[in-house]
Structure 1
Amino acid sequence: MSQAAPGPSNLIVAMIGYKVAGLAGAVVAQVAMMLPAGLLMIGVARFWQASSGSQWHVALERALGPISIGLILASGWIVAEHAALSYRGYLVTALCTLVFWRTRLNPVPVLVATGFLGWAGVI
């Protein structure tokens, strides 16, 4: 059901809450969905900052670097597999992966541009 709903999947709870109890139900359902995760995130962020500089903190940050690179490459691989199996799709995927890896460029304009290229039939 959440896959069929527009927007992020967690917004389905607001739609169900609205259907059950109107606007108040939508607000209560959305807050109940987001508040626990938000509070957990705040707690973890405070703990992370308080432990900054400790040995385990530095070791964990160093370990997460290669993992992040691997996840980025895996994402690029998945996108490349579904790039209409054309050499242009593979090329654009590889170029975007390099741009995201080597620069601090915001990915949104790049994704919009590549989406437009796909829509226009270039890719």
Structure 2
Amino acid sequence: MNPPCARCGKIVYPTEKVNCLDKNWHKGCFHCEVCKMTLNMKNYKGYDKKPYCNAHYPKTSFTIVTDTPENLRLKQQSELQSQVKYKKDFEDSKGRGFSIVSDTPEMQRLRRTQEQISNVCCGCLCMRACL
């Protein structure tokens, strides 16, 4: 049994059949939705299971993605990693000075070690107090 045409609904016989976009068409019915230019298998573009010529093919536009909690988290994460965020933080902190670091046991140990090293004479006739 011969299938109906997707455009006109009449029977499509094998000699005039165009099988495209999961539908059957008469050669004359396979035309652009907008300008009615007759199309073939080489020059058509399909969109939403309808044939279009190259000039009238619907342009796909991007939609705005909703700010879901996951998207907000990813945005925040990428901002934290970007140099823009670091530069902004640096500019904001200019002139504030350094924050005071409390003396941790590790910092005290390093300071004592540094003092001991600086008190050792290197043997270069520098006339240090250690002589």
TM-score, normalised by the number of residues in structure 2: 0.17
Structure having the larger proportion of residues in helix: 1
Structure having the larger proportion of residues in strand: 2
Which of structures 1 and 2 has the bigger CA Rg?
Answer: 2
